[in-house]
Amino acid sequence: MTSKTLEKYALLKAMHQIVRSLNNEGAYYDRWILIIPDKATDEELYDIAEDEDDEIFRDSVKCFEGIMKDYIDDGLYVAGKLY
């Protein structure tokens, strides 16, 4: 387990949580799960982080950037409250 893999895993996990918390299901169902498995487990996210090819990781970062641009103004749900 390298520090690079751990850093990529932490970022994937954070991005996944943020996308799942957006106040717009389209961000998740129409875009995110085209790259990241639906209801991705920690193991699945770790496998993506560990892959030396980096293709899925790079694609997920690009997808996340687009999602943030298009959906962040809709707000985030945190503990049942919209922010």
d(CA 53, CA 63): 17
d(CA 19, CA 17): 6
Which tokens belong to 37?
Answer: 């498995």
**Tens-digit pLDDT profile for residues 29-79:** 999 999 999 999 999 999 999 999 999 999 999 999 999 999 999 999 999
pLDDT of amino acid 1: 78
**Tens-digit pLDDT profile for residues 1-33:** 799 999 999 999 999 999 999 999 999 999 999
Domain range enclosing 57? 3-82
Q: Which residues contact 44 (CB under 8 A, 6 or more apart)?
A: 36, 37
Number of domains in the chain: 1
pLDDT of amino acid 38: 95
pLDDT of amino acid 36: 97
